[in-house]
Amino acid sequence: MTALTFRYVAHTDTGLRRSANQDSGYASPRLLVIADGMGGAAAGDLASSEVMHIIRELDRDDLDTDAMAALEEAVTKANARLGDLITEDPAVEGMGTTLDALLWDGEKFAFAHIGDSRVYRLRGGELTQISQDHTFVQSLIDEGRISPAEARVHPHRSLILRAMLGRDDNGADLSWVQPMLGDRYLLCSDGLTDMVTDEVIRGALLAETIDMAATELVRLALEAGGYDNVTVVIGEFVEAGTPPDDRLSSSDGQPQLVGAASGQARPRTGKGSSGSDSATASSSSTYDPEELRYAPRPPSRRRWIRWAAAFALVALILGAGGAWAYNWSQTQYFVAAQDGKVTIFKGVQADIPGITLQHVEQVTDVELETLPTFRRQQVEAGIEASSKADAEETVAELDQLAVQPTPTPTKPTPKPTPTKTRSTASNASWQR
Ligand code: CA
């Protein structure tokens, strides 16, 4: 068998809508890594950087154990680090990160995956996703309830079921990956995959060099809207001993560290900058579904928005459009809490003396206290639905996330190793 080595490149961009880059990317002759942080302003950066710095410690040629054992140990250590940070500062609770890491042992990759960042392989012109998204929509695909095409437009497509959150049940999927000569591996954050299709990714990955491919992939994500941070890390397999390609930014053999972990997230420049400024300003005052997935807005803020909406509605009801506005309000649904149960309401959320704009449509069996904190807060604040079916979908999703309260609410007994099996719908990583 031909001895192989790989060339590499890591690119990132804050995107056109975000003010900070919470992604971290890393590429070196031994290691390819991506981490997409979540959990609000500073915490997402912190989570992805801290995890990246621990995983990067694997980038040395004197590992004590085989690559898989070393990777598994590093993942456990990184997760524990997040747990410690959260214990030290409860304000960052809820922060977390996705992680994909490929550690080269000279013949094959040890591969760790958790979250919704992706790893693709381009082989013989064919693109294959080799990671499985830990998302709600992927669980629906696995159950045969929706198609991948439907998943792309599903209202809850951005909900992650597993991520590295600093808890004992946040194990990664671990497996070996056997590269072949000519393979290209792409690690990317959802800032790419939410913006472009796999076919577009395939086309870009066919570029002459991996630097060109990485540049083109980032460009395509920005062209499609650049809603999120976008990070791409690419490895390309060549015969061992092949001289460095001077066209590549990595021809100097130095590791490339980009994004939050580099501590110098690149500010938007050039033609995107003016758009970035206005988008940043508006993002602080408008609802951003992608951000909500990571860090649901505090209820007080949402309450204010609802109050404003209710005020506008009352003005309409009292005015000429009264009957129409009231009727419209009665075609709306939302999911909220009542008597400790997740409940579907018909109408709109508003507490206005003398006017009833909502009534209980259905009380479900889902207990509020069995939900993870994030989701519980969302329910308490109310989750709007575009239809009854949409509300039912939200309830089904909450039902899947519900867990029985653990008898010891403090520190559970640590497991010796992360689980190697992929949890399906139990979503244990959100258990508290
Ligand atoms: Ca992201």
4-289 maps to which CATH number? 3.60.40.10
CA of 230 to the centre of ligand 1 (A): 7
pLDDT of residue 271: 31
CA of 259 to the centre of ligand 1 (A): 12
CB-based contact 258:188 (threshold 8 Å): no
Mean residue pLDDT across the chain = 81
pLDDT of residue 274: 29
Of 123, 111, 106, nearest in space to 29 by CA: 106
| Residue indicated by tokens 């653990």 | 406
pLDDT of residue 419: 30
Where would I find the beta strands (DSSP E) of 302-355? 333-338, 341-347
Task: Record the tokens describing residue 281, joined without a space.
Answer: 């300003």
**pLDDT of 14-63, one tens digit each?**
999 888 999 999 999 999 999 999 986 568 999 999 999 999 999 998 88
Angle (CA) 55-57-59 rounded to 5° is: 95
CB-based contact 394:386 (threshold 8 Å): no
**pLDDT of 389-402, one tens digit each?**
888 888 888 887 77
Of 67, 60, 61, 59, nearest in space to 108 by CA: 67
Residues 281, 293: Cα–Cα separation, whole Å = 20
> What residues are neighbours of ligand 1 (ion), with CB under 5 Å?
36, 189-191, 228
| Residue indicated by tokens 């045969």 | 144
pLDDT at 212 over 90: yes
Q: How many CA atoms lie within 13 A of 317 on its CB side?
A: 16
CA of 128 to the centre of ligand 1 (A): 21
| Exposure letters 104-135 (e unless 16+ CB within 10 A, then b) | beeebbbbbbbbbbbbbbbeeeebeebbebbb
CA of 16 to the centre of ligand 1 (A): 13
Instruction: Sketch the domain layout of the chain as residue ranges.
Output: 4-289, 298-401
Residues 72, 420: Cα–Cα separation, whole Å = 10
**pLDDT of 332-365, one tens digit each?**
888 999 889 999 998 887 655 666 778 899 999 9
Across the strands, what pairs with 26?
33, 257
